[in-house]
Amino acid sequence: MPASPAIQVLTANRLRDGDVVYWRNGAWVEAFTDAEVFAEKFAADTALAAAQKFVTDRIVVNPYLFGVRVDGGQVRAIEEREIIRSEGPSVRRDLGKQAREAFDVSI
């Protein structure tokens, strides 16, 4: 069951290599598990606005917010697309972020 859309994470792709990154306290991290989780819309929108500077500075492209839910203490993306972006292709578990460290794969 989808959680309230008010719980969000901010993401983008890095310009130089296209890697998926997540916002955390004014900077970008590579692991979804390290991402800042916004429980309030205001904080999320503020972060999105702050992220525009990284677009202008040619660090990232297309930052946007997406919905997550909290499942027994773990933060999970709601949409399949964001789950896949955070892990890597479901058909090549040996590639992408999921292969970078011990990882709980959700699908």
Structural tokens at position 78: 């709601």
Q: What's the Cα-to-Cα distance from 79 to each of 26, 35, 68, 86, rounded to whole Å?
A: 24, 16, 8, 11
Interface residue with other proteins among 13, 36, 45, 75 (CB under 8 A) is 13
Is 2 among the residues that bind other proteins (CB under 8 A)? yes
**Residues whose CB falls within 8 Å of the CB of residue 69, separated by 6 or more in sequence, listed in order:** 2, 3, 7, 75, 76, 78
Chain CA centroid to CA 12, Å: 7
**Number of residues that this document lists for the chain:** 107
Report the residue number, 37 or 55, with the smaller CB distance to other proteins. 55
- CA-nearest of 67, 62, 59, 71 to 29 is 59
Interface residue with other proteins among 7, 9, 10, 20 (CB under 8 A) is 20
Report the residue number, 70 or 95, with the smaller CB distance to other proteins. 95
Stretch that binds other proteins, among 9-17, 22-30, 34-42, 43-51 (CB under 8 A): 9-17
Is 17 among the residues that bind other proteins (CB under 8 A)? yes
Least distance to other proteins from the beta carbon of 102, Å?
Answer: 19
The residues in 45-104 that bind other proteins, with binding defined as CB under 8 A, are 55-58, 61-62, 78-81, 84-85, 88-92, 95-96
